[in-house]
Structure 1
């Protein structure tokens, strides 16, 4: 962080990340490179990103009231599981050397992006039939794994959870997206608390990024209602794949 230019860059990146992240699930795919661009190494950038992401939760909740109506019991069932998984991921993050972390980032980003592209085919397989009881296993196990990943890094976690919910419990994209924002938000809150207590946080980067994310997150769910689902899915996935390639060619750490 060197001055007003960096602050403006982070605020703008936060606004864009909040919009596209709460509309489809690629928040960190925009905010994380912005933190690298202002000079933070890979691991401190990820810690700052996790803390700033908390700002998306209240904004997306305010904007998603129509989709969340009547879903309180469902959310109360799955949000604690997400929080526990994210806490485990954050503890793993704090024990990982930054050089190792920087090397695995591109593959994590690519996995999250490809998951969204695969979602329609997975949903079709789900509709054609599955082994008895599979639906009751896939959602909790998938959510645990993705929440651990979300607490560890998170770029692409939103698209993976969105795909999981579309396949297992909610076929409407806008509603699945709203549920995804709430469930991951619970995990993000726990992750942020853990890294804030146990590790150093660059608050000068978190403040402008988080402010932008809050305002952006009030717009993202509204955008998800209006864009065609196929277009939104492909845009999110293509941005993620492009970033994965960039990070693989030019790793930061």
Structure 2
């Protein structure tokens, strides 16, 4: 298992601390508003010198606080779909366990190799995000009322949430966008209701993955990075739930694309 390296083993430049704290804030806010905050905080950890596996595990644990605060901020919308949430939560739990174990079982070299592809795929999903959200808006119930879901559709939703939970436990970038896309296709809920469900399911996957990592991959966790990401993300989740929805989504997406692209260039050409 890769030992944790980075700021916790060296003093680190003060600007790296500020960069990671700020990345955590933006990631927490973006996760609540759009999804895909991992594509801000994870690449910043890479740019600060963390090995990909350590960065991924530390980032996942750190983002739990932001996901939790964002979910609490959306509790009003979440009450509209309590029944559906109770059905989908077990799928997220199982998926989170499966994905996090897959990350630990597969060789670290395999994750290092696939990281640029995962980041690039996540960036493309973020760029395509407006199309997903427009589709969700077209299919939404304007009044935000819960619709009746057939047994077949419910099975498709549960299966899709399980698969996305596995992906989220393994890496997680743009998981929120994929969840919104899935729910928008198979339900007719309002956009805010979809976002509330997305926040709950992503938070659950992150929490389960974090527990698994702490139980079986303690040496691959950089706790200073976790603390910085968690501090920023928790505040970012609160801001995202309250005022983040008013920020231009194009600004948030542009930030993700720039940082994600910089991380890919760093991994492929500068290391």
Coarse TM-score class (shorter-chain normalised): 0.7 to 0.9
Task: Select the residue among 180, 193, 196 that pairs with 1:178.
Answer: 196
1:117 positional shift: 5.0
Q: 2:80 aligns to what SS in structure 1? A: coil
1:110 positional shift: 3.6
1:146 positional shift: 0.9
**Contact map agreement 2:28 2:237 (CA 8 A) in 1:** yes
Report Cα offsets for 1:2-34 as digits up to 9, x if no partner.
344332221111111111111110110011012
Q: Are residue 208 (structure 1) and residue 228 (structure 2) matched?
A: yes
Distance 1:223 1:109, change over 3 A: farther
**Contact map agreement 2:25 2:236 (CA 8 A) in 1:** yes
For 1:247 and 1:37, locate their aligned partners in 2 and report how far apart those are by CA, in whole Å.
7
Task: Select the residue among 86, 89, 103 that pairs with 1:79.
Answer: 89
Unaligned runs of 5+ in 2: 1-6, 141-149
Distance 1:223 1:142, change over 3 A: farther
Unaligned runs of 5+ in 1: none
For 1:6 and 1:94, locate their aligned partners in 2 and report how far apart those are by CA, in whole Å.
27
Q: Are residue 148 (structure 1) and residue 166 (structure 2) matched?
A: yes
**Contact map agreement 2:80 2:193 (CA 8 A) in 1:** no
- The more displaced of 196-205 and 54-63 is 54-63
Q: Are residue 107 (structure 1) and residue 117 (structure 2) matched?
A: yes
1:123 positional shift: 5.7
For 2:138 and 2:175, locate their aligned partners in 1 and report how far apart those are by CA, in whole Å.
22
Provide TM-score, normalisation by structure 1: 0.84
- Work out the number of aligned pairs and report it: 245
**Contact map agreement 1:25 1:156 (CA 8 A) in 2:** yes
**Contact map agreement 2:31 2:67 (CA 8 A) in 1:** no
**Contact map agreement 2:136 2:184 (CA 8 A) in 1:** yes
Provide TM-score, normalisation by structure 2: 0.79
For 1:134 and 1:106, locate their aligned partners in 2 and report how far apart those are by CA, in whole Å.
36
After TM superposition, list the pairs within 5 Å mapping 1:27-176 onto structure 2.
Answer: 27-112=37-122, 113-114=124-125, 116=129, 118-119=131-132, 135-176=153-194
Runs of 4+ in 1 over 6 A off after TM superposition: 124-127
Distance 1:239 1:6, change over 3 A: closer
Q: 2:99 aligns to what SS in structure 1? A: helix
**Contact map agreement 1:174 1:221 (CA 8 A) in 2:** no
1:72 positional shift: 2.1
**Contact map agreement 1:83 1:190 (CA 8 A) in 2:** yes
**Contact map agreement 2:46 2:263 (CA 8 A) in 1:** no
Distance 1:157 1:208, change over 3 A: same
Task: Provide the residue aligned with 2:214 in structure 1.
Answer: 196
Indicate the RMSD between aligned Cα atoms, in angstroms.
2.7
